[in-house]
Amino acid sequence: MLKGCNIIWSLIVAAGGLTAAGSYYFRKGNSGSETSLESADEETLDPLPSSSADYIIRGSNLERNFCGKLINGQEEDMSREECKRIVKGNWEKEEQPEMWLRVKEKHSKEAMEHFFPDNEKARKASFGERWDALGLTCEKKSSSEERIEISCYIPDSFKSLIRKTDR
């Protein structure tokens, strides 16, 4: 019994660590590992136009969601009211993804470069296709208003492992 509890706590701590690391990476980018070639490529991309992307990183039970916008290539905080409206309008609490991104389709290439700089599969993903990023499984979906949405969840294999040790 004690061994099962240790495994559960280890998995919970690992999931929290993945979420925290993903949150930091998702908000700040991977600025420390750019090569000069990557920096040159980023300089040739046009900056994203005003309000081109919204993103939400799910908070734990003790934390609120982190919500932001990408405006003219710069990340800014989203208002708490707008964040709550998006979350309430899209998901029940259990269904909310760990990370979510909504971007205008015509600017999706630049947004994918910004949020997933080292993930070629993410940048080339078709609608409905899944890929792994930041320890999560992500999927690209079509949205209304000529926008796309990227939703990232804890992988099913990890969820099933937590359920098995919970018994």
How far is Cα 55 from Cα 107, in angstroms, rounded to an integer?
14
For residue 108, what are the domain limits? Answer: 2-166
User: Scanning the structure block, which residue is given the tokens 């005003």?
Assistant: 50
How far is Cα 134 from Cα 145, in angstroms, rounded to an integer?
28
Nearest Cα to Cα of residue 25 among 57, 48, 53, 59: 57
pLDDT digits (tens, 9 = 90+) for 58-80: 987 657 889 999 887 788 999 99
1 or 94, higher pLDDT: 94
Nearest Cα to Cα of residue 58 among 87, 25, 17, 89: 87
pLDDT digits (tens, 9 = 90+) for 122-159: 877 778 788 888 889 999 887 777 888 999 998 877 77
User: Scanning the structure block, which residue is given the tokens 């990227």?
Assistant: 150
Range 84-94 average pLDDT: 86
* Neighbour-count burial of 155, counting CB atoms closer than 10 A to its CB (0-12 exposed, 13-18 middle, 19+ buried): middle
Q: Structurally, how many domains does the chain consist of?
A: 1
Instruction: Quote the pLDDT of residue 81.
Output: 92
Determine the 3-state secondary structure of 53 from DSSP. Answer: strand
Q: How long is the chain?
A: 167
